[in-house]
Structure 1
Amino acid sequence: MTADARDRTTGSRSISVALTEDEILRRGLDTFAELGYEATTVRELARRLKVSHNFVNDRYGSKARFWRAVVDAAMRERGEELKAVIGELPDEELLVATVTRFYRAAAQTPDVNRLVADESVRDSDRLDYLHEHFIEPFWAGIRPTVERLMATGRMPRTAMDMVFFAITGPALAMTHEPLAYRLGRSRDWNVREREESAEAMANLVMRGLLPHRS
């Protein structure tokens, strides 16, 4: 797609908008991550997209369907980042590599984690959607490795939900920048520093989960 204005047809309406689909979904993610779903009104979305207040409903059918389109696009990109080929690695190194990539992805696209963190405290259809399509598939890829590490004594036996939060929770350090600034982080946190922070966090977490790792 180009950034030129173009027409999209939904039903009998022709919708002209100057943003690409990727830009629309990116701004949608920014808005939902910043305000939360309930506080994000269709009118506010229209203001940020610089379109008419009917745009979201005309093109996507509803705010809820737009939210799903936003999440699908963001998670598709995140999934591609996490699917980098690692090769045949021992379980310990496989877990370390997966967790490191997860933190790197969080540092590169923090709005995804902000959105998931916000939705995770609400028992809703949106959380069901996130869990079914993204959280559980991600965890299903890690769980067998964790189980083998526990079975061989290389990881302390712990409830699986606690292990999940021990792995994913520290990603908040990559995404909650306003608090991090107040704790002393530089406001000029650049790409290289994000990468270094992700690796440092992975090493810190892995020292706790894999105490016998050399």
Structure 2
Amino acid sequence: MTGSPDSSGQRAGSPTSVLGGDPAETEQAILRRGLDAFAELGYQATTVRVLAQRLGVSHNFISVRYGSKFAFWCAVVDFASSEALESGGWIFAEDYEDDQELIAASVRKIYRVSAQLPQLHRIVADEAARDSERLDYLFERYLRPFMSNVEPSIHRLVAKGIMPPVPVHLLYFAVMGPTSGLIQQPLARKFGRPEPSSDDEDIQYGQTLAGLLLSGIMHKPGA
């Protein structure tokens, strides 16, 4: 139970009674607030009590609506990932005849998402530091499929001498490392990043970083 019904028939402490509006939009608002909380505080520090305060709901809303904090975290990650996919869609290897074009498109997609949804990448970076069911969820549901999509192209480009022969796990971190310039905004501002920046400017920053990275990991054979 999430409280007694109010005069509108909604239970006190339910997301609709607190936030108002269409239930679907309310659900998105709940998940977006959850995304901000997990990205800012990390999973352990984001207690159910903290979530209730952040979401503006009763203390037992998470357990009643989602079953557990972990289940809510999964819903938040899925929501953020679906938002990311709406920006340009998923990149499929079969849509690209040229391996270099696939790798370039995949890298640029990563940096576009990092610029538009830095919270998602903060969550991934935080969870990557320790083994947990959350890391398993991220890896099996998102990271492994992404790498499986590009690995055949990587191997062919390595064989042609276009990409360096480094292990895939090192290549992953070489690609993901520079996204810190997009998600660690307080530090970036100390180095001179303008504040505030528009969404278009954030995306352009991401594409500039992607271009720098691609110029470093792909080159002409014999160059």
Match of 2:39 among 11, 33, 36: 33
SS in 2 for 1:149: helix
1:11-63 per-residue CA deviation (whole Å, 9 max, x = no partner) reads xxx97322411111110010000000000011111111111111111111111
Percentage of identical aligned residues: 45
Q: TM-score, normalised by structure 1?
A: 0.88
Q: Which runs of 5+ in 1 are unaligned?
A: 9-13
Match of 2:197 among 186, 189, 192: 189
Match of 2:187 among 166, 179, 191: 179
Matched, 1:64 2:70: yes
Which structure shows the bigger proportion of residues in strand conformation? 1
Q: Which amino acid aligns with 2:90?
A: K
State the Cα distance separating 1:193 from its structure 2 match: 1.4
Q: Partner residue of 1:126? A: 134
- Distance, in Å, in 2 between the alignment partners of 1:137 and 1:6 is 44
- Once the two structures are overlaid, the 10-residue window that deviates more, 159-168 or 26-35, is 159-168
SS in 2 for 1:58: helix
1:62-81 per-residue CA deviation (whole Å, 9 max, x = no partner) reads 11111111111112222343
SS in 2 for 1:107: helix
1:74-108 per-residue CA deviation (whole Å, 9 max, x = no partner) reads 12222343416894342112211221121011100
Instruction: Kindly report which structure 2 residues correspond to 1:129-140, keeping only aligned pairs within 5 A, or say none.
Output: 129-140=137-148
CA contact (8 A) 2:92 2:149 kept: no
Instruction: Kindly report which structure 2 residues correspond to 1:81-120, keeping only aligned pairs within 5 A, or say none.
Output: 81=87, 82-83=89-90, 87-120=95-128
Match of 1:48 among 54, 57, 60: 54
- Distance, in Å, in 1 between the alignment partners of 2:165 and 2:148 is 18
State the Cα distance separating 1:146 from its structure 2 match: 0.8
Q: How many residues are aligned here?
A: 205
Q: Partner residue of 1:165? A: 173
CA contact (8 A) 1:114 1:175 kept: yes
Q: TM-score, normalised by structure 2?
A: 0.85
Q: Which runs of 5+ in 2 are unaligned?
A: 1-7, 20-25
State the Cα distance separating 1:179 from its structure 2 match: 1.1
Q: Which amino acid aligns with 1:23?
A: A
Q: Which amino acid aligns with 1:180?
A: A
SS in 2 for 1:165: helix
